[in-house]
Amino acid sequence: MFFLLSKILGFFALPSNVMLLMGLVGAPLLFTPRRRLGGGLVIASLLGLAVAGWSPLGNLLMAGLEDRFPPWDASRGAPDGIIVLGGAVSPDLSRLRGSVALNESAERITAIADLARRFPAARIVFSGGSGRLLGGEVAEADVVLPLFESFGIARDRVLLEGRARNTAENARFAKELVQPKPDERWLLVTSAYHMPRAWGAFHRQGFAVEAYPVDWRAGPGDLARPFTALSAGLARTDAAVHEWLGLLAYRLTGQTAKLFP
């Protein structure tokens, strides 16, 4: 139920969806006695899309998430294992095309090539099912192995977890699979903006992972720079707002111990 509800509410929580729906509702009202309301909705829709798409709003919201965890400090020594979260692979497209198709979060996967080489004794866990509400019969874990093998990673080093549909299930199923010992150190690899929620979910499960953020989206120079493409700005704002609302939802449902882990 939590998964179903999160997907439905997640659609309406994206600013671009909400603002476009406002315009679609307002436009027909322009031809009715409630045209003033319709005009207000259309104007609000256009202004909202412009601000979210062209202004640095998305980068400002993203930076607050990405700055929560610094880059991992390797001075403590080699980890016992590495967990990489799904979200970087398009499983259905990968199966259709016969090749692993990565999306804009590809660094979640490519970082493993370097980590596996630097820490040859570390076990590697990939946790990724299908997060799609409709369709999505193929899990990310079903198609990612050839890419790991192309990195030179031996098959017996990799554990695949293909049931998780969201971050909370990543944490729960990864712990069940790994059964970490108290003295073991595990890295958690995911996008920097997603790390607060992921780290919080793992620690809520009693799995004391160390954050290894990758895939940064916003740098210091981006915080005052407008977007030149409306679609790029909207995508950045949508991703950041989705993550902030995800943090709130996870705290309210007990999936994390703090609002901002």
The Cα angle at residue 116 between residues 110 and 118, in degrees rounded to 5: 110
Kindly tell me if the per-residue pLDDT of 137 is higher than 80.
no
Kindly tell me if the per-residue pLDDT of 216 is higher than 80.
yes
pLDDT value, residue 9: 73
- In 175-257 the beta strands, taken as DSSP E runs, fall at 186-191, 210-214
- Does 189 lie in the same domain as 79? yes
- Does 228 lie in the same domain as 159? no
Dump pLDDT digits (tens) for 191-202: 999 999 999 999
Q: Which residue bears the tokens 């704002």?
A: 237
Structure token digits, residue 168: 């909370």
pLDDT band at 3 (very low <50, low <70, confident <90, very high): low
Q: Three-class SS string for 50-64? A: HHHHHCCHHHHHHHH
* Average pLDDT of span 10-26: 92
In contact, 250 and 228? CB cutoff 8 Å: no
Kindly tell me if the per-residue pLDDT of 6 is higher than 80.
no
Dump pLDDT digits (tens) for 85-96: 999 999 989 999
Is 32 in a helix, a strand, or coil? coil
**260, part of any domain:** no
Distance, in Å, from the CA atom of 207 to the CA atom of 174, rounded to the nearest integer, reads 9
- Does 210 lie in the same domain as 83? yes
pLDDT value, residue 206: 97
- Does 85 lie in the same domain as 205? yes
Structure token digits, residue 106: 């590809």
- Does 14 lie in the same domain as 118? no
Domain of 32? Answer: 2-66+223-252
* Average pLDDT of span 149-173: 95
Provide the number of structural domains found in the chain: 2
pLDDT value, residue 162: 95
Kindly tell me if the per-residue pLDDT of 135 is higher than 60.
no
**For residue 90, what is the domain's CATH number?**
3.40.50.620
pLDDT value, residue 178: 96
**258, part of any domain:** no
- In the chain the beta strands, taken as DSSP E runs, fall at 81-85, 123-127, 158-161, 186-191, 210-214
Kindly tell me if the per-residue pLDDT of 131 is higher than 70.
no
**261, part of any domain:** no
Kindly tell me if the per-residue pLDDT of 163 is higher than 90.
yes
**158, part of any domain:** yes
Kindly tell me if the per-residue pLDDT of 253 is higher than 90.
yes
* Average pLDDT of span 1-10: 68
pLDDT value, residue 2: 60
> Judging by DSSP bridges, how do beta strands 123-127 and 186-191 pair with one another?
unpaired
Q: What is the DSSP letter of 98?
A: T
Distance, in Å, from the CA atom of 16 to the CA atom of 98, rounded to the nearest integer, reads 33
Distance, in Å, from the CA atom of 39 to the CA atom of 36, rounded to the nearest integer, reads 5
Structure token digits, residue 144: 């990612």
pLDDT value, residue 183: 94
**171, part of any domain:** yes
- Does 193 lie in the same domain as 124? yes
* Average pLDDT of span 138-159: 93
- Does 94 lie in the same domain as 188? yes
Kindly tell me if the per-residue pLDDT of 251 is higher than 80.
yes
The Cα angle at residue 64 between residues 62 and 70, in degrees rounded to 5: 105
- List, in sequence order, every residue forming a beta bridge with 158; answer none if it has no partner: 124
Structure token digits, residue 202: 């793992």
Q: Within its chain, how far is the Cα of 231 from the centroid?
A: 19
* Average pLDDT of span 149-158: 94
Q: What is the DSSP letter of 125?
A: E
**257, part of any domain:** no
pLDDT value, residue 168: 95
Q: What is the DSSP letter of 229?
A: S
Kindly tell me if the per-residue pLDDT of 259 is higher than 90.
yes
CA separation (Å) from 209 to 59, 60, 78, 227, 232?
A: 27, 27, 13, 35, 32
HSE of 127 in the Cβ direction (CA atoms, 13 Å)? 25
- Does 237 lie in the same domain as 200? no
Q: Three-class SS string for 33-47? A: CCHHHHHHHHHHHHH
- List, in sequence order, every residue forming a beta bridge with 188; answer none if it has no partner: 83, 211
